[in-house]
Amino acid sequence: MTLSKPAEWWRLALWTTFTSVLGGIAGYFLGTWAYEWLGPLIENWGYGHKFEQVKSLFDRWGIWAILVAGFSPIPYKLFTISAGLLSMAVLPFVIASVIGRGARFFLVALLVAKAGPRMEPLIVKYIEWLGWLTVGLLVIVVGIYQLK
C-alpha cells in the first residue's frame, strides 16, 4: 500500500499499528477469559510447544517480551494470549505493544516510502534478520540492566 501512496506512509503505518494493537488486545482478553477453550485449539493447531516456550519467556522477561515480540519475527499473537493468561497489567501491555508494533510498521513503511519499489525485495529478504538482531540487542540491554 505504501508503494502506491508513498506520501501516506505514516498514516498507513499508524493505521496498521492501531489495528495490530487492537488485535493484540483481543488476544490478551482471549488469554484472560477463554484459555480453557483456546488451550485445546492451540494444541490441535500444533502451537502447544511454541506456546509453552512463549510462557517461559514471558515469565522471565515480562513487558520486554511483549515489546520484542511486537517488533521481531516471534509470533506476537502467542505473546498477547500469554499476557492475558499470565494476568499482565493491561496498560504496560498496550504501551509495549504500541512501541514494538509501531517500530516495526513505521520502519517498513518509511523504508518503502523513501526507497520505493527497489526496497521491497530487500525488506522481504532481511526483515527477519533485522527482527532477530533487534531481539539480540534488547536481550543484551535488558541483561546489562538486570546486572546493575
62-119 pLDDT, tens digit per residue, is: 787 888 888 777 788 888 988 898 888 999 999 999 999 998 889 888 888 888 777 7
Among 111, 49, 121, 37, residue whose Cα is nearest residue 78:
49
Q: How many CB atoms lie within 10 A of CB 22?
A: 12
Instruction: Output b/e per residue, 72-97; b: 16+ Cβ within 10 A.
Output: bebebbbbbbbbbbeebeeeebbebb
Residues 119, 112 contacting (CB under 8 angstroms): yes
Tell which wins on pLDDT, 113 or 23: 23
pTM, rounded to two decimals: 0.75
Helices (H) and strands (E) in the chain, counts: 7, 0
- Mean pLDDT for all residues in the chain: 84
